Amino acid sequence: MTRIVIADDHPLLRRGLVSALESLDGVTVVAEAEDGEAAMRAITHERPDIAVLDIAMPNGNGLEVAAWAKANAPTVALVLITNYPDAAFVERALELGVCGYLLKTSAIEELPHCLAAAENDGRYLSPAFVTAAPAAPPMLDDADTALLARLTKTQREVLKHLAAYKTSKEIARAMGVSFRTVQNHRARIAKSLGFEGKHRVLEFAVRNAEHL
């Protein structure tokens, strides 16, 4: 029996994924989570065969949870689902060794293929992502150069940790500061760069990881 943890902060999609998985022979969903911290607890407690993680979750997004799982639960196969066909996200996900990377609009239909690949130590990407990952690190363009120049040394350090998909708690430990201080840094970075939306700072950090 393949044991699976599902983590997604949208209840309707999460229930759809659970229903799709439990309709498959030899598959059982052992836990559901609505954010990153709950996902890490579920993985720690259940030690599933596979964890299906939404990239866009509060309290630790799917990439942060995947990075944590790689260090703390290396036997768990990881599947990421997302609305964002961003090449930088795909590249980082592959670096983390995920066995599946699915677009949400087709995740339910593609999950059986993804699970089959995972069980054979393979990898499955939604067709939209097959050509998304770049062959080489992107060059730093003029716009990003100007944005990076707005940041302090400490803020760039925070971005470097974000680019490695560390959670705010992990960044706080690495920098020797409080969790609230890290959250304040992230908010100030977003304000300095003129970013809105919870993924813009992470996307910027990932895209410019080689230049921080």
Q: Domains of the chain by range and CATH?
A: 2-129 (3.40.50.2300), 142-211 (1.10.10.10)
Contacts of 76 (CB under 8 A, 6+ apart): 43, 47, 48, 49, 50, 51, 69
Q: What tokens appear for 107 in the block?
A: 């995740």
Residue 141: the pLDDT is 65
> 7-11, 86-90, 95-99: which has the highest mean pLDDT?
7-11
- Owner of token pair 């760069």: 193
Residue 140: the pLDDT is 59
Residue 115, H or E segment: helix 107-119
Percentage of the chain beyond pLDDT 70 is: 91
Of 55, 126, 142, 60, which is closest to residue 92 (Cα–Cα)? 55
CA distance 209 to 212: 6
Average pLDDT score over residue span 174-181: 93
- For the beta carbon of residue 182, count every other beta carbon within 10 angstroms: 23
Average pLDDT score over residue span 173-196: 92
0.85 exceeded by pTM: no
CA distance 138 to 162: 18
Residue 132: the pLDDT is 45
**200: pLDDT confidence band, cut at 50, 70 and 90?**
confident
Of 192, 180, 184, 203, which is closest to residue 152 (Cα–Cα)? 192
Q: What is the pLDDT of residues 40-74, one digit of tens each?
A: 999 999 999 999 999 988 888 898 899 999 999 99
pLDDT at residue 142 tops 50: yes
Q: In terms of pLDDT, which residue wins out, 203 or 142?
A: 203
Average pLDDT score over residue span 128-137: 52
pLDDT at residue 210 tops 90: no
Strand extents, DSSP E, the chain:
2-7, 27-33, 50-54, 77-82, 100-103, 124-125
CA distance 165 to 74: 16
